[in-house]
Structure 1
């Protein structure tokens, strides 16, 4: 598998994840009968935040992964970043979606997300300068 094929795999997986999170907001909106905003409804607020957190983090990491592919970074690096990030975002969505308080999924998902963002940024700088 080429670096671009690996990067494209994660674009597709994250596309499905983002679609799932969007559909969940619609599902909660219909269930809770909240047609606009969050209606001061905790379930609606959590669903919106889960999607919002992904919108904040996913694009920059995917751009970094695409940049690494363009700079011919090792495929194993792209899979390590993309795979761990994908698992982290699922854990975070489950953790935050299930409770407004602290949870294992939210904690681990946030920690791994931060690590992946840091490594992706560092790798982008490294591969751009070498």
Structure 2
């Protein structure tokens, strides 16, 4: 697998994850009969925040992976970053979406996401100047 193929794999996987999160917002919205906004409903607020947090973080990492793919970074690095980030986002979604407070899934998911963002940014700088 080439670096750009590995990157494209994660673009596809994150596209699917984003669709699942979007459909979950629609599911909660329909079940709670909330047409617009969050209706001051905790389940609706959680579903919106899970999707919103992904919208905030996923593009940054995907842009980084695209850059790394174009710079022909090692495929193993791209897989390590992509797979870890995917795991982090799934854990975050389950943890934030399913329970009140800072559940363990949310905490671990956030930590993994932050680490991947940092390592991706560092790798982009490293491969760009070398």
Aligned-pair Cα RMSD in Å: 0.4
2:107 is aligned to: 107
Query: Is 1:71 equivalent to 2:74 in the alignment?
Result: no
1:28 is aligned to: 28
Count, aligned residues: 130
**Runs ≥4 residues deviating over 6 A:** none
Alpha-carbon deviations, 1:38-95, whole Å to 9, x = none? 0100000000000000000000000000000000100000000000000000000000
Give the Cα–Cα distance (whole angstroms) in 1 for the partners of residues 78 and 99 of structure 2.
32
1:90 is aligned to: 90
Give the Cα–Cα distance (whole angstroms) in 2 for the partners of residues 25 and 102 of structure 1.
20
1:14 is aligned to: 14
Structure 1 residue matching 2:93: 3-state secondary structure: helix
Residue 102 of structure 1 and its aligned partner are, at CA, apart by 1.2
Structure 1 residue matching 2:40: 3-state secondary structure: coil
Structure 1 spans left out of the alignment, 5+ residues: none
TM-score by length of 2: 0.99
Residue 125 of structure 1 and its aligned partner are, at CA, apart by 0.2
Alpha-carbon deviations, 1:10-54, whole Å to 9, x = none? 000000000000000000000011000001000000000000000
Structure 2 spans left out of the alignment, 5+ residues: none
